[in-house]
Amino acid sequence: MRIGIVCYPTFGGSGVLATELGKALADKGHSVHFITYQQPVRLNVFNANIYYHEVRVPTYPLFDYPPYEVALASMMVDVILNHDLDLLHVHYAIPHASAAYMAKQIVRKRGREIPVITTLHGTDITLVGRDKTYEPVVTFSINESDVITAVSNNLREETYKSFHIEKEIDVIYNFVDVARFNKKPIDAFRKVIAPNNEKILVHASNFRKVKRVQDVIEIYARIRKKIPVKLLLVGDGPERPAIEVMAREISKDDEIRFVGKQEQMEEILAIADLFLLPSEYESFGLAALEAMAARVPVISTNVGGLPEINIHGKTGYMSAIGDVESMSNYAVNLLKDEVLLEEFKEAAYQQACVHDIHNIVPQYEKIYSRYCRMDCEE
């Protein structure tokens, strides 16, 4: 099939998932057309089936706010018509679902139908989309999509609670390429980070308020009083300066390292012992799933879709939001007990296998096949 994928090109979960989906579809022989404003960060391979169409937003002195959505819809029209797309799959409702609606109407005027699949990812529903500035457009464009998918049961329920949705929402979980994350640790790298064989904790996020990175530091501060441990913080975002101040108050040397945005997450996870995700909300928690694929148990909060992936007492532990005491106690118990830690690592890996790319991508293909035109190749 000829599939248009619209996403944010950044390190955020929705962009990562959309890009990995596009790559997997291309590997299976579909033609995949990415439409976005920058080369997606995970689009780091050459594949003859992958096309990238950059959306440019010309500036004009009148525009205090350059109209990205208009430029995006115009690019969608161009790609639909010139590359004869079978469908558009948009990731993250704002502004992708409404731009897709506009493109759909424009091509219809030219005698062309294009099915639109909208995948809801999280903050497009639970944070930004709910804001009354956006809500009417979000509700309308979700309802106008031919298919709506959400990345967890929790997000599906949250969507029904917050918006007046008239259609069925299909749940298709996030996925991970287990083979890519199941890597042997690089000893030299581990030695640099933990020269005295300290345990290594990892947190990865976009450092937004919803991630509660301050709790990562609080948890770390409690654990280090009981066992030798290092902390790697992956990613970047608005909260980072404040978190750096907190980190410096706890330790002045290299105990806590900020490694910034990283493409090769699998190299970092390969040396990790525990992953911390104390978020205020996660629709799913793709970062936790990637950790599990690397055999890293997860200490997380018990919010949103996290209980659908992190099995308490098996693949990790979950506590209430802000309960740093409980999360650090769980972490210490696990890190002190090598036998238990090994059991958790194996269970985490097995859980990731359930969400392996090979199990989830066919679920999207099944939806696409409903819209396969007479002449399109499945």
Rounded Cα distance between 62 and 154, Å, is 42
Provide, rounded to whole angstroms, the least separation between the CB of residue 154 and ligand GMT: 9
Contact 232, 270 (CB under 8 A): no
Rounded Cα distance between 110 and 97, Å, is 20
Closest CA to 4 of 42, 40, 52: 52
Q: Which is nearer to ligand GMT, 229 or 294 (CB)?
A: 294
> Interhelix angle for 135-144 vs 93-109, to 10°?
50
Tell me which residues touch ligand GMT (CB under 6 A): 12-15, 17, 92, 121-123, 151, 174, 206, 210, 281-286
Q: Which is nearer to ligand GMT, 80 or 243 (CB)?
A: 243
Provide, rounded to whole angstroms, the least separation between the CB of residue 88 and ligand GMT: 18
The label of the residue with tokens 């950044």 reads 10
Contact 271, 199 (CB under 8 A): no
> Interhelix angle for 324-336 vs 213-223, to 10°?
50
Rounded Cα distance between 46 and 101, Å, is 31
Provide, rounded to whole angstroms, the least separation between the CB of residue 306 and ligand GMT: 8
Q: Which is nearer to ligand GMT, 221 or 292 (CB)?
A: 292
Q: Which is nearer to ligand GMT, 315 or 329 (CB)?
A: 315
Q: Which is nearer to ligand GMT, 8 or 101 (CB)?
A: 8
Provide, rounded to whole angstroms, the least separation between the CB of residue 272 and ligand GMT: 18
Provide, rounded to whole angstroms, the least separation between the CB of residue 281 and ligand GMT: 5
Tokens read off for 34: 């990415």
The label of the residue with tokens 């396969």 reads 372
Provide, rounded to whole angstroms, the least separation between the CB of residue 322 and ligand GMT: 16
Q: Which is nearer to ligand GMT, 217 or 286 (CB)?
A: 286
Peptide bond preceding 95 in cis form (omega within 30 of 0): yes
